[in-house]
Amino acid sequence: MSYTIEGRTGTWEIVVGLEVHAQVISHSKLFSGASASYGGEPNTHVSLVDAGFPGMLPVLNRECVAQAIRTGLGLRARINLESRFDRKNYFYADLPTGYQISQFTHPIVGEGTVEIELSDGTVRHIGITRLHLEQDAGKSIHDQDPTRSLIDLNRAGVALMEIVSEPDIRTPEEAGAYLRKLRQILRYLGTCDGNMEEGSMRADVNVSVRKAGEAFRTRCEIKNVNSIRYVMHAIETEAARQVEVWEDGGTVDQETRLFDPARNETRSLRSKEDAHDYRYFPDPDLLPLVVEQDWVDELEKALPELPDDKRARFQKEYGIPRYDAGVLVAEQAIADYYETVARGRDARLAANWVTGDLFAALNRTGRTIQDSPISAQALGGMLDLVSDGTINGKIAKEVFEDMLETGDSAADIVERKGLKQVTDTGAIDAAVADVLARNADKVEEYRGGKDRLFGFFVGQVMKAMAGKANPAIVNEALKKVL
Amino acid sequence: MNLTELTIADAAAGLRRREYSAVELVRAHTDAIAALNPRLNAYITTTADAALEAAGRADAALARDEARALTGIPLGIKDLFCTNGVRTTAASNILKNFVPPYESTVTANLLRDGAVFVGKTNLDEFAMGSANITSAFGPVENPWKRKGDEQTVLVPGGSSGGSAAAVSAGLAMGATGTDTGGSIRQPAAYCGIVGLKPTYGRCSRYGTIAYASSLDQAGPMARTVGDCAIMLQSMAGFDPRDSTSVDRDVPDYSAAVGRSLKGLKVGIPREYRAEGLSTEIEAAWQQGIAWLKEAGCEIVDVSLPHTRYGLATYYIVAPAECSSNLARYDGLRFGERVPAPTLDGMYEASRRAGFGAEVRRRIMMGTYVLSAGYYDAYYLKAQKVRTLIRRDFTESFQQVDVLLTPTAPTPAFGQGEKMDDPVQMYLNDIFTVPASMAGMPAMSVPVGLGDTGLPLGLQLIGRPFDEETLLAAGSALEKAAAFTHRPAIRAEVAK
Position B275 scores a pLDDT of 66
Average pLDDT for A375-385: 94
- Are the CB atoms for B28 and B118 separated by under 8 Å? no
Q: Please indicate if any CB of chain A lies within 8 Å of the CB of B492.
A: no
Position B495 scores a pLDDT of 54
The reply to whether residue A54 touches residue B100, judged by beta carbons under 8 angstroms, is yes
The reply to whether residue A54 touches residue B98, judged by beta carbons under 8 angstroms, is yes
B183 labelled catalytic: yes
CA–CA distance from B209 to each of A305, B32, B91, B157 (Å)? 48, 28, 11, 20
Position A395 scores a pLDDT of 86
Average pLDDT for A258-273: 89
User: How many of the other CB atoms lie within 10 Å of CB of B276?
Assistant: 9
Position A91 scores a pLDDT of 94
CATH number, residue B11 = 3.90.1300.10
Given B213, B334, B371, which is nearest A279 (Cβ)? B371
B159 labelled catalytic: yes
Given A48, A59, A99, which is nearest B102 (Cβ)? A48
Domain count, chain B: 1
Q: Decide if B475 is inside a domain.
A: no
Q: Is the pLDDT of residue A179 over 90?
A: yes
Q: Which of B130, B159, B245, B254 is catalytic?
A: B159
Position B494 scores a pLDDT of 65
- Which residues in chain A have their CB less than 8 angstroms from residue B98's CB? 54
Residue A265's pLDDT band, with cuts at 50, 70 and 90, is: very high
Position A481 scores a pLDDT of 78
- Are the CB atoms for B444 and B457 separated by under 8 Å? yes
Position B349 scores a pLDDT of 97
Angle, alpha carbons B286-B287-B288 (nearest 5°): 90
d(CA B406, CA B54): 39
Residue A197's pLDDT band, with cuts at 50, 70 and 90, is: confident
Write the pLDDT tens digit of every residue in B425-443: 788 899 999 999 999 999 9
Beta strand pairing status for B194-197 and B442-449?
A: antiparallel
Q: Which of B78, B120, B197, B418 is catalytic?
A: B78
Position A432 scores a pLDDT of 85
Q: What is the pLDDT along chain B (495 residues), one digit of tens a residue?
A: 799 999 999 999 999 999 999 999 999 999 999 999 999 999 999 999 999 999 999 999 999 999 999 999 999 999 999 999 999 999 999 999 999 999 999 999 999 999 999 999 999 999 999 999 999 999 999 999 999 999 999 999 999 999 999 999 999 999 999 999 999 999 999 999 999 999 999 999 999 999 999 999 999 999 999 999 999 999 999 999 999 999 999 999 999 999 999 999 999 999 998 767 889 999 999 999 999 999 999 999 999 999 999 999 999 999 999 999 999 999 999 999 999 999 999 999 999 999 999 999 999 999 999 999 999 999 999 999 999 999 999 999 999 999 999 999 999 999 988 777 777 778 889 999 999 999 999 999 999 999 999 999 999 999 999 999 999 999 999 999 999 999 999 998 865
- Are the CB atoms for A469 and A431 separated by under 8 Å? yes
| Residue A77, SS3 per DSSP | coil
This prediction has a pTM of 0.92
User: What ipTM was reported for this prediction?
Assistant: 0.96
Position B451 scores a pLDDT of 95
Q: How far, rounded to the nearest angstrom, does the alpha carbon of residue A296 sit from its chain's CA centroid?
A: 26
Q: How far, rounded to the nearest angstrom, does the alpha carbon of residue B123 sit from its chain's CA centroid?
A: 10
Spatial CB neighbours of B414, under 8 Å, sequence gap ≥ 6? B152, B153, B154, B155
The reply to whether residue B243 touches residue A55, judged by beta carbons under 8 angstroms, is no
- Are the CB atoms for A270 and A238 separated by under 8 Å? no
Residue A147's pLDDT band, with cuts at 50, 70 and 90, is: confident
Q: Decide if B479 is inside a domain.
A: no
Q: Is the pLDDT of residue A389 over 90?
A: no
Position A219 scores a pLDDT of 96
d(CA B254, CA B228): 9
Mean of all residue pLDDT scores within chain A: 93
Average pLDDT for A102-107: 96
d(CA B210, CA B216): 7
- Which residues in chain B have their CB less than 8 angstroms from residue A53's CB? 100, 102, 328, 333-334
Position B421 scores a pLDDT of 77
d(CA A434, CA A316): 48
- Which residues in chain A have their CB less than 8 angstroms from residue B348's CB? none
Position A154 scores a pLDDT of 96
Residue numbers of the domain that contains B145: 3-258
The reply to whether residue B324 touches residue A93, judged by beta carbons under 8 angstroms, is no
Q: At what angle do helices A471-481 and A453-464 cross, to 10 degrees?
A: 120
Position A431 scores a pLDDT of 84
Q: Decide if B130 is inside a domain.
A: yes
Is residue A272 left, alpha or beta, with left meaning phi > 0 and alpha meaning psi from -120 to 50? alpha
Position B428 scores a pLDDT of 85
Write the pLDDT tens digit of every residue in A58-99: 999 999 999 999 999 999 999 999 999 999 999 999 999 999
**In chain A, what are the domain boundaries?**
4-298, 305-417, 425-481
Position B190 scores a pLDDT of 98
How would CATH label the architecture of A425-481?
Answer: Orthogonal Bundle (1.10)
Given B241, B324, B347, which is nearest A87 (Cβ)? B324
B21: preceding bond cis by omega (within 30 degrees): no
Write the pLDDT tens digit of every residue in A36-52: 998 899 999 999 999 99
